[in-house]
Amino acid sequence: MGINSNYATTYDSMEMMYPSENLVRIFKGTYPEIQLADKLSAGESILDIGCGDGRHLVFFDKDREFDAYGIEPTGELAEIARKNARDAGAEVTVREGTSRNIPFSDDQFDHLISWNSCYYMGETHEFDFQSHVREYHRVMKPGGTIVLSIPKPTSFIFQDADEVRKGYIEVKNDPFGVRNGSVLRKFHSDEDIVDAFSPQFSAFTVASIHDDFFGFNYHWWILIGEKGE
């Protein structure tokens, strides 16, 4: 079984989880370095790359009153997210798609989030992360906001991983047994991430999560940027 089948089995056997606390804080709070929540309006469009079980789509639709869209790499996964959102009373659109091939129009979205997803290189293990960056740029409106969460090298995801190509690793010891064998883009610093996205995006703000949660190293960067005019 590949990662897509593993996730389908996982999502299909559990109740939908709550949205990420940190994502909620970004879209509802105001901070010295970002005031994103103050700039948001009902009816704006948002795309969730790798929307998982649909938890963030429900938050965006029901709490922020966004026009919420998501993608997942298989039709089965997309249907799980779609059903969960529908059961929660949310009206959202979920389609089959990947970071390399987003099934939406140019300049369509006001906002795009990639929450723990943009660095997955797919079951075919393509080694072209910049194709993800170009697709994100393509579907966003000028001036649109991008929100990314990406693991640090000390994250539990990278424990015992093998480097299969410079900047790319294969997961070997996923404690949840879902990601083993998957190829991920690994960044060594937040500056590396900014370099990867800066050809198409700018005005970056970076936050750091270093959460050693009862044996799991949830070590992540969060980056917020804008698509140029």
**82-128 per-position pLDDT tens digit:** 999 999 999 999 999 999 999 999 999 999 999 999 999 988 778 99
Q: Check whether 4 has a pLDDT greater than 60.
A: no
Q: Give me the number of domains the chain comprises.
A: 1
HEC letters along 98-144: ECCECCCCCCCEEEEEEECCCCECCCCCCCCHHHHHHHHHHHEEEEE
Distance CA 16, CA 55 (A): 6
Tokens of 186: 């690994």
Which pTM was predicted? 0.93
Residue range 44-72, pLDDT digits in tens: 999 999 999 999 999 999 999 999 999 99
Residue range 153-173, pLDDT digits in tens: 999 999 999 999 999 999 999
Give yes or no for a contact between 161 and 41, defined as CB atoms under 8 angstroms apart. Answer: no
Q: What is the model's pLDDT at position 161?
A: 96
Q: Which of 15-19, 54-58, 83-87, 175-179 has the lowest mean pLDDT?
A: 15-19
* Residue 168 belongs to domain with CATH number: 3.40.50.150
Maximal CA-CA distance, the chain: 45
Residue range 193-213, pLDDT digits in tens: 999 999 899 999 999 999 999
Structural domain boundaries, residue 192: 3-227
